[in-house]
Structure 1
């Protein structure tokens, strides 16, 4: 990586000088704040560096999501907080297949052949694949969002950053809490917690949660509710102290999700049946999904069962501490969703993803500190056993429409099954091949083993200067298989058997009609050359990757209030395989991040700012491409490719306790992210083009807490989030995540406002709250599904949530 280019160094030097000036200004502004000791900011303690530290002493760009923010926005999982963490984007519309993006980097793939670029950790345990990390918040204390590569301390698959969830541990006192929330769209939410001592040195903590809603879509034809939530979860935690030096902490988590799947709204005006829509669809003819009815004829369903057990043992030694972390996690999931956005059988297409995933994680860590150094060192082991089935479902009437639109059938009307059925009936055979179910599936297995050793040392060079050196070695081994099964259409095959037994195809051959059984036996979805050559055969590949991930940090405390820092860190993500395309493995991702920042904290005001530049090599991504650019009605394919990108940006956050009752906070990120040396599979050169990441995102919050004397307290909070427009490039159109047409703007800037008013009783035992999310009812297009745009003439869209509101009551003692 060329991090020493003159322009980059000069720019960062200027930025650092600006930060020092900013620090001087902040010092001057905060003088009066320092004199008012009665009104102070709460101190925030984090474990971002595998050590207990105050956030203002950590030379990393991070944001902490605390209990206030979680309550202000009625957050139920990670997908509810990303709008208020600039730089973080979580697509949570499908809980079993979410995506996470941080500082413009994500792995937008739904196959088990790749790993995420943003690592999710719960109490220090790596969450693994995305299908098992977007779980309900159960007894979460805080969330630490670390921006930039965290490979040295957190390990594999944190090339873009890490999200660390910290849960509450059992306490020595009896404690109980229950919360009930009801709202519009049939929202019903309840959770309960019970904490009880089980001895002089041990305690048990139990949580249960249930969350249901009707969904806010209605089928335009039947009036049936579409979407919605249906999930319940439990958590049990036990902690015990053995002697003076050893503590054991064990947790069990369970979740059961069984709800309607993702809702897709068709945005193409359809002619009356049996007329077909024009292909390919002109983007200028797209309708606004927020202004049209939603129709569905698919059995959309999404379910998951999850179990996880974690054991953490801490033992104090004479010279430091030893920690052992053991974790087992398992989930099984299915996600069945409609893709065409219509209720017409002749245009029907759906997809189904089924996964089974089991992981084991073990880490041994030693740590210690003295007057000169603060150090952490350890080793870890990770194993994953994953299985996935990817399916495409349609019917022979829809297949006939695809064949007609592609012009590949040797028949007068352009169909295959319809024309064959007509010939059979003309010959006195009462058989119709139209409308028979059609299924294609691709099976994958993955066995991953990963080993790592790491160390991180903070050298206290002087009372004000610290030098940090960290290094992690990682070795990943993957054993991957593909199996492309033959088309599965039992009803169709039975009818073809009957026709063959009656001599129908032989008769057609004698009349010179070019219809054979072989012509009616083919595949539509997984038809690239390697998949067809190996149809019905198990194909296996094995690959190893290894990496050294260092980090170097210099932090200097200018005074008791101000710290400046500079860091150089490397992130790593193992290579992998394209789950839907048999082929060679692709190489690992590497990212180098150079960052400089300042942190200032006073009695009533604090802020953090940093500038960063990263170079990302071999970023892994799945893209929807036209196999033949000269044939716009061809069936698109999902292909996996890698490319380089680089970005320069600024992160900022601040907290200000204006008075004892009134507080403000704000966060922002500016980033310029562009491709480098990247040509898409279609041959489009995107060198220097934007990656799609908006330049600017921000959020702000205000809270006022009034003391009502003997009548308790009243707290009012409001939060505002802004995300700038996505920066489109020449290849954005087919991907469906960015673009402007006559009636539709995909990727436009977004705003969201949340508000909450809560009353707490004098002794804190009761809390009543009224909340509203997306107060001004602003909805936006999440993205388009353009898979059927060419072959079927249909395009689907997903949109963000409307305004939701409700009443919440909490009882605790």
Structure 2
């Protein structure tokens, strides 16, 4: 951005559109808003001021329709946050967005560095190489295929847009719940830059910056970098709280605690270079290369009893570590075919590598358990050709073709002792699991009158998923796979992977060679080869009515998520959603009010669970659901120095049809009986809430600008409330206590919401100082002021007296952030 000039009268620009320095200070203060619908966004224009200098709400431009439109004139439920808003609220990646956008829940980084995104109750609990998100993440128009890759993107952005509801026509992949659009900063024609430095609790150190370097009048580059580290907020202890006689301690397997390892820490680096080249008056090429690295240890399992007492600690007897890298190339070639028609070719290519060791018991569960991603290589590529008119007449249209492919090679090992491991090592080797997707789409809007418009869209998608050579192996004679646990290297892997006959060998014999296995070798229990094709036609129909500063709309749209392939060569059917929505967007001088009401009919839901009989994750189309909700977003410019932001959502997301063979440990699920009154072994989960779907979410923020001769001070306070959240379909109202403490078996029952997160509130404080002289600012902040500890997931292995062990968001933290612009 350009300089913040001392007299506050010069202008800065966002993507070339002017914003006064005074306005930008207001925008800074506003960015504490918990979901910044009205904060300075992708394109923000300064509204005219009244004679008494009363502040007006910004005019916001978005790209939710794959073209630039006014937020208040776009009939879609969408929220917008700028890079300033992300920084002020310490939103470093997609996982931090929860609570800042209505009906959005993003689970934290877990034991496979994965994320799970839910919008309006729609998402997926399977982020592995077999599953796809129900909410698509797009960066500069390119789909981010792997959940882990979506973590890398929150730096030097223009804005983040969250589209709520199915996006089944204009966007490329699996958008049954919605889409998250990230737009990176592009270089302009002038030299400019910025830098940010943050210091905080837990030895947090963060530095980021960007600079635009024009080469010629037609060619410029922008270089951006980000790095952050801290020591983590979980302590590694060397005394196993389970005791020494349970038979699964680190001592008895030849390991000791790893006390020097940082836990729940941050260690990330990222860099991006973007070039914009005006090849001709009607031809423009934008290309970027981005690299990201994460070596933090996330998703540490904690004992809720210890957490309630303010002790955040874990007994780690596995050599845990993470090495995750992504490299992404994105390119957009834009050509004006004529004065009224533009064509864009959008290309994306990504490589993801991950290796990781996770201690899955954390000294909490009554067993030793370790998970290892020996390797994950995911390669993806996408091509899209989009054509649309640009004349701004009564008829606007967009059409295109899309192709996407991805392939993952992964080996994941389990070692340990427990109910499902049974003292046997397990390994899952998938050398080629992939997807090929192709689609054609079109969407058009026609203005029936000056006020009334009709939109229709359609997309045809054809997906092919496959597993080539995948094998599961277990029944290891020594009980473990990893040699330093007492196992042996699996010398028969290549035999299994090259098995072309498909013939089953007798028990105890190598399936390929037909000879007896020797000590230290494991048996291949499942062949996962499969190929499955599905297709779907999704559509959108919508009416909108614009009356001065008020817009009303009604729409019906569908979404589609392709089926899941799984171990054993099994497949599921796709899942489908149909959404009915009405909404309004209104500006009343210094107040903005946006409302939406919706109903979603969700069919053929794919649910994942571990089947102990066959010892594998099983995916099935087992459920249907109905989701009803209301959302409200309000911005109020108070007087000549204040701003109040409020957002709220009500969500009633319940299963209407769900029969399963497990009712969980609670007493709330109906056990089904046959005509003779005998138990069938099945349970009816109809009426249960969908996971990650709180009934109420409310957030509010208030800031006020105080002007002094030394500069401007802008204090802010923000708060959010999230209702009860269930992490499991069973919605258990109790769990059993069955863990060990100092060699003593704990027993009993815990009631409430032991496998979820109870309703909670969080409060953040901050203040930004803008000096009278100088192109810099300083920001002081306290996050989670009341030190509220909240879980994003739980494990059902062992209950404690305070519920199930879980993975927690960070406790109270504080810090200072310096910003400079040149």
Instruction: State the TM bucket, normalised to the shorter chain.
Output: 0.7 to 0.9
**Does 2:551 correspond to 1:542?**
no
Structure 2: distance between partners of 1:253 and 1:796: 36
Structure 2: distance between partners of 1:690 and 1:452: 33
The 5 A counterparts of 1:476-515 are: 476-481=463-468, 482-486=470-474, 487=476, 488=481, 492=486
Structure 2: distance between partners of 1:101 and 1:653: 19
Pairwise CA distance, 1:219:
1.9
Structure 2: distance between partners of 1:453 and 1:560: 36
Contact 1:151 1:572 in 2 (8 A): yes
Contact 1:120 1:164 in 2 (8 A): yes
* 1:555 paired residue among 519, 525, 544: 544
Deviations, residues 495-538 of structure 1 (Å, cap 9, x unaligned): 9x9xxxxxxxxxxxxxxxxxxx9999898xxxxxxxx7x53x75
Aligned to 2:242: none
Structure 1: distance between partners of 2:461 and 2:293: 34
**Does 2:216 correspond to 1:199?**
yes
Aligned to 1:17: none
Contact 2:161 2:180 in 1 (8 A): yes
**Does 2:399 correspond to 1:377?**
yes
* 2:117 paired residue among 91, 100, 116: 100
Structure 1: distance between partners of 2:165 and 2:381: 26
Contiguous gaps of at least 5 residues in structure 2: 1-48, 239-256, 492-515, 663-681, 737-748
The 5 A counterparts of 1:770-789 are: 770-787=780-797
Aligned to 2:104: 88
Aligned to 1:620: 606
Report how many residues are paired: 684
Aligned to 2:246: none
Pairwise CA distance, 1:467:
0.3
Higher helix content, 1 or 2: 1
Pairwise CA distance, 1:304:
0.7
Note closer, same or farther for the CA distance 1:402–1:65 as it changes in structure 2 (3 Å cut). closer
Note closer, same or farther for the CA distance 1:773–1:480 as it changes in structure 2 (3 Å cut). same
**Does 2:651 correspond to 1:678?**
no
Deviations, residues 282-340 of structure 1 (Å, cap 9, x unaligned): xxxx9958557422212222221111111111112233111111111111112321111
* 1:177 paired residue among 194, 199, 203: 194
Note closer, same or farther for the CA distance 1:729–1:231 as it changes in structure 2 (3 Å cut). closer
Aligned to 2:764: 754
Deviations, residues 121-141 of structure 1 (Å, cap 9, x unaligned): 011111112121111422111
Note closer, same or farther for the CA distance 1:548–1:330 as it changes in structure 2 (3 Å cut). same
Contact 1:339 1:796 in 2 (8 A): no
* 2:556 paired residue among 568, 571, 575: 568
Contact 2:685 2:729 in 1 (8 A): yes
Note closer, same or farther for the CA distance 1:178–1:736 as it changes in structure 2 (3 Å cut). farther
Note closer, same or farther for the CA distance 1:402–1:483 as it changes in structure 2 (3 Å cut). closer
Contact 2:564 2:619 in 1 (8 A): no
Aligned to 1:156: 173
The 5 A counterparts of 1:131-146 are: 131-146=148-163
Note closer, same or farther for the CA distance 1:212–1:490 as it changes in structure 2 (3 Å cut). closer
Aligned to 1:60: 76
Contact 1:248 1:311 in 2 (8 A): yes
Tell me the SS of whatever aligns to 2:57: coil
Aligned to 2:282: 245
Note closer, same or farther for the CA distance 1:343–1:48 as it changes in structure 2 (3 Å cut). closer
Structure 2: distance between partners of 1:742 and 1:732: 10
**Does 2:342 correspond to 1:321?**
yes
Aligned to 1:72: 88
Pairwise CA distance, 1:712:
2.8
Aligned to 2:57: 41
Pairwise CA distance, 1:483:
0.6
Tell me the SS of whatever aligns to 1:753: strand
Pairwise CA distance, 1:735:
12
Contact 2:734 2:751 in 1 (8 A): no
Contiguous gaps of at least 5 residues in structure 1: 1-32, 269-285, 407-415, 417-436, 498-516, 524-531, 628-634
Aligned to 1:509: none
**Does 2:412 correspond to 1:390?**
yes
The 5 A counterparts of 1:284-295 are: 291=311, 293-295=313-315
Structure 1: distance between partners of 2:723 and 2:208: 35
Aligned to 2:228: 211
Note closer, same or farther for the CA distance 1:732–1:289 as it changes in structure 2 (3 Å cut). farther
Note closer, same or farther for the CA distance 1:733–1:448 as it changes in structure 2 (3 Å cut). same
* 1:338 paired residue among 353, 359, 368: 359
Structure 2: distance between partners of 1:811 and 1:178: 5
Aligned to 2:708: 708
Pairwise CA distance, 1:96:
2.9
Aligned to 2:12: none
Contact 1:625 1:734 in 2 (8 A): no
Structure 1: distance between partners of 2:368 and 2:795: 14
Note closer, same or farther for the CA distance 1:740–1:233 as it changes in structure 2 (3 Å cut). same
Aligned to 2:291: 254
More moved, 68-77 vs 162-171: 68-77
Contact 2:426 2:473 in 1 (8 A): no
* Bigger RCO of structures 1 and 2 (CA < 8 A, at least 6 apart): 1
Higher strand content, 1 or 2: 2
* 1:232 paired residue among 265, 269, 273: 269
More moved, 227-236 vs 673-682: 673-682
Pairwise CA distance, 1:161:
0.3
Tell me the SS of whatever aligns to 1:451: strand
* 2:203 paired residue among 171, 186, 211: 186
Note closer, same or farther for the CA distance 1:54–1:689 as it changes in structure 2 (3 Å cut). same
Contact 1:622 1:638 in 2 (8 A): yes
Aligned to 1:725: 724
Tell me the SS of whatever aligns to 1:51: coil
More moved, 560-569 vs 236-245: 236-245
Pairwise CA distance, 1:797:
2.4
If the length of structure 2 is used for normalisation, what is the TM-score?
0.78
Structure 2: distance between partners of 1:723 and 1:267: 19
Pairwise CA distance, 1:598:
1.0
* 2:810 paired residue among 795, 801, 813: 801
Structure 1: distance between partners of 2:237 and 2:598: 49
Q: Superposition RMSD on alpha carbons, in Å?
A: 3.2
Aligned to 2:820: 811
Deviations, residues 384-431 of structure 1 (Å, cap 9, x unaligned): 11122221122xxx46x989xx8xxxxxxxxx9xxxxxxxxxxxxxxx
Contact 1:196 1:204 in 2 (8 A): yes
